[in-house]
Amino acid sequence: MGGEVHSGNPRRAGVPRHRGKVYRRWPLLGLMLLICRGGFSQPAASRADFLIVENPRRLVIYNKYEQRIGFEEERGFLPFKPMQIVRWNTHLSDGFTPCAEVLLGEERFYLLREENGGFQGERQAGYLHRFRKCRVLSDTVEVRLDNAIFLSKRPTFSGAPETGRYFLAAGQRLRRWFQYRDFTYVELLPGEQDFGWTHLPAEGRNRSWRRVRREQAAVEGISPEVEAKVSRILEEANGLLQRLYAHFNRRTGQNLSPPRWEMRVSSRALRCYLRGDAGEENFSESIRQLARALENALLGSPVRVELQNHTIVIQPRS
């Protein structure tokens, strides 16, 4: 029993092997293919635009199949939950219907627009604002002092009562989504209780707040050894990306930032995705190479490896 990749023709995504092991230079082939396909055409930095909506369910939302979302999908659109913008002005596949393409978590959705450019249902949606060139974050911090860290719904940051700001108690944990200017958009943990803005001053680190090291994954059917092996392979890929970008920056005189592989842990799976702005479609061959490398590295483990919309998903075998 071993891992398996479901991504079309397996030979197309094959990785050279040597005496039963993955050939150590597997990432180079995929990354060189990436370069030939134009993966260096745009800077790949950890920045993105986000959309915050007070009542997103009032908008007209289509799923990745370009169908109106149902009740289960609608439940994910919580008030003030951030949506990462993929394309601000685009069209559905009919080439006619205007929309914005967004990510809610890892799922792709389309927000339909009116002919005048506004969103359908926008008047009923309440507060709606686009934040540009935000620094993407994905970690957890903990409040260490009472009445030192606040949460605010409106990014006025003035401290005025109308901002709806309130202070957090020591021990409260926050998931950081993104940073805009000097302020950070966060989610109260556990469980999507509330979203809002806060300020985490550098001088207050380890005094009024601290970063929390990611806790050990509790994925049923996936051992800590499998998670550690996946994490190690991702770090090797990230190191190679950094070296390749440094090399090409020296050769071209540019200052491009490399994309970075990250792993998100849920109760059901490990999800590996490439964080960067150049567009996942430019990295498709490299992603397939990494998926194949993970499959070979996990041979003998009771897991399967799948590609889902450029995300590598590792789940227990059913």
- At 165, which CATH number? 2.30.30
63 and 85 in a common domain: yes
pLDDT at 212: 83
pLDDT at 268: 75
Residue 131 lies in a domain: no
- The whole-angstrom separation of Cα 295 and Cα 284 is 17
pLDDT at 279: 57
Per-residue buried b or exposed e for 207-230, using 16+ beta carbons within 10 Å of the residue's own CB: ebbeeeeeeebebeebeeebbeeb
221 and 292 in a common domain: yes
63 and 12 in a common domain: no
Digit-by-digit pLDDT tens for the chain (318 residues) are 444 444 443 333 333 333 333 333 344 444 444 443 444 433 333 789 999 999 999 999 999 899 999 988 898 899 999 999 999 999 999 999 999 999 987 788 999 999 999 999 999 999 999 999 999 887 889 999 998 998 887 765 554 444 578 889 999 989 899 999 889 999 988 765 689 999 998 888 889 999 887 544 445 667 777 888 888 898 888 888 888 888 888 888 888 778 888 888 776 788 888 876 555 566 788 888 899 889 888 887 888 999 887 889 998 886
Residue 30 lies in a domain: yes
Neighbours of 199 (CB within 10 A): 13
Which of 126, 154, 171 delimits the end of a domain?
A: 126
SS3 8: coil
142 and 196 in a common domain: yes
User: In which domain, by residue range, is 170 found?
Assistant: 136-212
Which of 126, 151, 186 delimits the end of a domain?
A: 126
203 and 147 in a common domain: yes
73 and 29 in a common domain: no
CA distances to 29, 32, 258, 296, 307 from 25, in Å? 7, 11, 19, 14, 21
- The whole-angstrom separation of Cα 59 and Cα 100 is 12
290 and 244 in a common domain: yes
Q: Summarize the chain as % helix, strand, coil (round to 5).
A: 25, 35, 40
231 and 288 in a common domain: yes
144 and 121 in a common domain: no
pLDDT at 42: 37
Residue 194 lies in a domain: yes
201 and 244 in a common domain: no
Whether 83 contacts 51, CB under 8 Å: yes
Give this prediction's pTM. Answer: 0.57
Residue 187 lies in a domain: yes
- The whole-angstrom separation of Cα 213 and Cα 226 is 19
Q: Give Cβ neighbours of residue 30 (< 8 Å, ≥ 6 apart).
A: 285, 286, 287, 288, 289, 290
- The whole-angstrom separation of Cα 234 and Cα 298 is 13
Q: How many structural domains comprise the chain?
A: 3
Residue 50 lies in a domain: no
Q: At what angle do helices 26-36 and 224-252 cross, to 10 degrees?
A: 40
Residue 166 lies in a domain: yes
- Give the pair of three-digit tokens for residue 208: 């009024």
Residue 35 lies in a domain: yes
pLDDT at 255: 80
203 and 154 in a common domain: yes
Which of 162, 179, 212 delimits the end of a domain?
A: 212
- The whole-angstrom separation of Cα 252 and Cα 254 is 5
118 and 142 in a common domain: no
Whether 153 contacts 196, CB under 8 Å: yes
pLDDT at 281: 64
- Give the pair of three-digit tokens for residue 160: 């005025």
pLDDT at 77: 93
